[in-house]
Chains A and B, each alone.
Chain A
């Protein structure tokens, strides 16, 4: 099941981009090089934006959630602006390298036109942006865990995959429009790219603000989505919310897993019914809980 989700989301996120790469770019070495250079430029822009954000977080009030949120939005805006700046810088670099390429190829015309460069550089930006956004989520989707078990949205993986695909294709389009705008001095096109990038980056925010679903409570993931975070062990059961006994259906206890020895279902049922709220964490619910946590813990142990 998890393998299906993993492959499905991977192909959703990267399918069109990989198809574009295979059919139009893979055969031409020069285009591949410029694609990777585009990816590198995006990476550098992200690095700078993260640096600024990190410094701003360090000097801010870490306890105030609103301030952190504000800083994050500032970070997003800054990152978008830096990405577009680096796109412009890449454009300038490519223009400057025109003569060099002409000399290298000893031909009258350039081996690669500025439009092709716009396309591959946009796709390079897109690949890197998409990969950075989604690859950790994909890695989490392989592992044991249940998405949405704590009440969050079950469609986190799918929506992330679709969003990534959209972002990759958008970066490619933005690259083409941006370079064309720079070539023909159409600055409104460049401005449109920047504005639309800002809009797209900020877009999910209002949509998810009201929903408890897609919004992780703790940014780094503490198992709240039902996933063992790649870098942390899930919290001990005591820290997780107290489950209401009546919310879960009475189910047959998995007799083979009980740590306290097997109990008959009948006895367990009476156990649940006759005890108060505080005892709802008994068998079988407690065991379900334990089993789940055990799985998470085991996964967490094998995780780094």
Chain B
């Protein structure tokens, strides 16, 4: 199956902006006089991430004054909790992907179908030719991502909000209905369960509709988090299935580099988006950012602007379409419990997807659990370091580079160096 339009959309939405945006946003409040931290752009869903920064500065500054020191302390105090609040969903997403890869053989079957973004096949005779094809595939994929990101920046700059809205809705529709139907049917095939179409129709319809409501409108926090984890896992599975071997690794590496460039360099598209959103003081679209706020008030209407604090993430996502968090914040001037409510960290779904692609590929190739475990630990440590840097620098940072670098290093070294060593040790029953 070549990528259909919807998949393209979804791909574009999910992945185009993913690398560039780094939705790792701590809920740290900056000092009023400090430069407002850039909201970490949501990786993929570009608009979502960016818009939140602008309001942050204005509102945050004013209210922050009295609670500056307290905020700092509390922020730092909860730093570790934020790390864990991101560890758990990332772990869950990777777990879903690994379990699926190991049990449902569909996602690891060799297929001649590829995404249209990777047209060059890797079934060539010579190694050099294969390498060349992989590099070309990577270049094409990264170019598509760059183009999509710039396109989104342009759209956002020229205020084509309806277009972006429609695009996001179309993408999540495709993910929630079509990809989950594909997944469910493969699971049924694996376990040889005969299920009739009406039942499957009812299941998919319910799953998809509740998902659309939770993600784009209002819903319980945990349900929304669960849906975001599931759609990230589905997208990662699609990548694992349709990206050729070497291209996948090269793409992972290239995307980390692009992420770094796009978020940190002054002319990077993501950075421009963040700045535009800051200038306009605008709320964010219901983008796909995973948010892990501690307290969640469901169903509160949110005024269009979120002026608020430096909690970029929380505010951004919340905005009009989402949850009530910003409201909460806006209403009070930081009594202690409100400060606690505001804490939450956000991570873009693109990060989830690429972490899971790395671990899933490690699980798929070689069938060796040591490699999978090593990549898993490496990614978690990378995420921890990224959050630490975030605490230090207090600005939007790319979440991919450190984790993916560690993941790649550990994948290749465990696969080639550690595995023979451990095999020999196990054979002689040495326990080191």
A residues lining the B interface (CB < 8 Å): 29-30, 32-33, 36-37, 39-40, 43, 46-47, 49-51, 53-54, 57, 69, 72, 75-76, 79-80, 83, 103-106, 128-129, 131-133, 135-137, 139, 159-160, 163-164, 167, 200-202, 204-205, 208, 214-216, 218-221, 230-231, 302-304
Contact between B367 and A33, CB atoms less than 8 A apart: no
9 CB-based A-B contacts, threshold 8 Å: A29-B84, A43-B378, A46-B432, A69-B428, A75-B424, A128-B377, A136-B369, A205-B428, A231-B366
- Neighbour of A43 across the interface among B72, B73, B374, B430, CB < 8 A: B374
Contact between A104 and B374, CB atoms less than 8 A apart: no
Q: Which of B105, B414, B421 has the most CB of A within 10 A?
A: B421
Contact between B108 and A135, CB atoms less than 8 A apart: no
- Neighbour of A37 across the interface among B367, B384, B423, CB < 8 A: B384
Contact between B80 and A30, CB atoms less than 8 A apart: yes
- Neighbour of A219 across the interface among B368, B381, B428, B432, CB < 8 A: B428
- Neighbour of A132 across the interface among B79, B365, B373, CB < 8 A: B373
Q: Which residues of B contact A164 (CB under 8 A)?
A: 431
Interface assignment of B87: CB less than 8 Å from any CB of chain A: yes
Interface assignment of B425: CB less than 8 Å from any CB of chain A: yes
Interface assignment of B413: CB less than 8 Å from any CB of chain A: yes
Interface assignment of B147: CB less than 8 Å from any CB of chain A: no
Contact between B417 and A105, CB atoms less than 8 A apart: no
Please name 17 further chain A to chain B contacts, defined as beta carbons within 8 Å, in addition to the given A47-B418, A106-B76, A231-B367, sorted by A numbering: A33-B80, A33-B83, A37-B384, A46-B418, A50-B413, A50-B420, A54-B416, A79-B432, A106-B77, A131-B373, A135-B369, A139-B369, A160-B426, A163-B429, A205-B428, A221-B423, A304-B367
Encoded as 1 (CB less than 8 Å from any A CB) or 0, chain B from 367 to 401 comes to: 11110011001101100100000000000000000
Q: Which residues of A contact B135 (CB under 8 A)?
A: none
A53 to B417, CA, bound (A): 8
Q: Please classify the interface of chain A as helix (H, G, I), strand (E, B), loop, or mixed, using the class held by over half of its residues.
A: helix
| B422, closest chain A residue (CB) | A132
Please report which residues of chain B, range 330-375, place their CB below 8 angstroms from some CB of chain A when the two chains form the complex. 364-370, 373-374
Interface assignment of B427: CB less than 8 Å from any CB of chain A: yes
| B74, closest chain A residue (CB) | A106
Q: Which residues of B contact A43 (CB under 8 A)?
A: 374, 377-378, 410
CB of B373, distance to nearest CB on chain A (Å): 6
- Neighbour of B429 across the interface among A36, A39, A204, A220, CB < 8 A: A204
Q: Which residues of B contact A214 (CB under 8 A)?
A: 429
Interface assignment of B165: CB less than 8 Å from any CB of chain A: no
- Neighbour of A47 across the interface among B83, B84, B413, CB < 8 A: B413
Q: Which residues of A contact B423 (CB under 8 A)?
A: 219-221
| A77, closest chain B residue (CB) | B432
CB of A252, distance to nearest CB on chain B (Å): 30
Given contacts A129-B432, A204-B429, contact A72 B424 (CB under 8 A): yes
Interface assignment of B130: CB less than 8 Å from any CB of chain A: no
Q: Which residues of B contact A33 (CB under 8 A)?
A: 80, 83-84, 384
| A80, closest chain B residue (CB) | B432
Encoded as 1 (CB less than 8 Å from any A CB) or 0, chain B from 106 to 133 comes to: 0010000000000000000000000000
CB of A283, distance to nearest CB on chain B (Å): 32
Interface assignment of B218: CB less than 8 Å from any CB of chain A: no
A221 to B419, CA, bound (A): 13
Q: Which residues of B contact A163 (CB under 8 A)?
A: 429, 431
A304 to B369, CA, bound (A): 12
A216 to B417, CA, bound (A): 20
A131 to B367, CA, bound (A): 15
Contact between B421 and A50, CB atoms less than 8 A apart: yes
A143 to B416, CA, bound (A): 24
| A304, closest chain B residue (CB) | B367
| A112, closest chain B residue (CB) | B80
A186 to B381, CA, bound (A): 31
CB of B227, distance to nearest CB on chain A (Å): 25
Q: Which residues of A contact B76 (CB under 8 A)?
A: 103-106
Q: Which residues of B contact A219 (CB under 8 A)?
A: 423-424, 426-428
A105 to B413, CA, bound (A): 37
Given contacts A36-B381, A105-B77, A219-B424, contact A72 B373 (CB under 8 A): no
Please report which residues of chain B, range 87-101, place their CB below 8 angstroms from some CB of chain A when the two chains form the complex. 87
CB of B389, distance to nearest CB on chain A (Å): 13
A139 to B81, CA, bound (A): 33
Q: Which residues of B contact A205 (CB under 8 A)?
A: 428-430
Encoded as 1 (CB less than 8 Å from any A CB) or 0, chain B from 241 to 279 comes to: 000000000000000000000000000000000000000
Q: Which residues of A contact B422 (CB under 8 A)?
A: 50, 132-133, 136
Q: Which residues of B contact A230 (CB under 8 A)?
A: 367-368
Q: Which residues of A contact B368 (CB under 8 A)?
A: 136, 230-231
Q: Which residues of B contact A51 (CB under 8 A)?
A: 413, 417
A79 to B410, CA, bound (A): 17
Q: Which residues of A contact B370 (CB under 8 A)?
A: 131-132, 135-136
Please report which residues of chain B, range 290-306, place their CB below 8 angstroms from some CB of chain A when the two chains form the complex. none
Contact between B432 and A215, CB atoms less than 8 A apart: no
| B75, closest chain A residue (CB) | A104
A230 to B378, CA, bound (A): 23
Given contacts A49-B421, A75-B421, A304-B367, contact A104 B428 (CB under 8 A): no
- Neighbour of B427 across the interface among A40, A57, A159, A220, CB < 8 A: A220
| A197, closest chain B residue (CB) | B432
Q: Which residues of A contact B80 (CB under 8 A)?
A: 29-30, 33
Contact between B429 and A40, CB atoms less than 8 A apart: no
| B82, closest chain A residue (CB) | A29
CB of A34, distance to nearest CB on chain B (Å): 9
Contact between B364 and A304, CB atoms less than 8 A apart: yes
A214 to B377, CA, bound (A): 31
Q: Which of B81, B365, B367, B430 has the most CB of A within 10 A?
A: B430
Contact between B378 and A40, CB atoms less than 8 A apart: yes
A242 to B242, CA, bound (A): 45
- Neighbour of A54 across the interface among B83, B380, B420, B430, CB < 8 A: B420
CB of A287, distance to nearest CB on chain B (Å): 27
Q: Which residues of A contact B378 (CB under 8 A)?
A: 40, 43
| A69, closest chain B residue (CB) | B428
| B413, closest chain A residue (CB) | A47
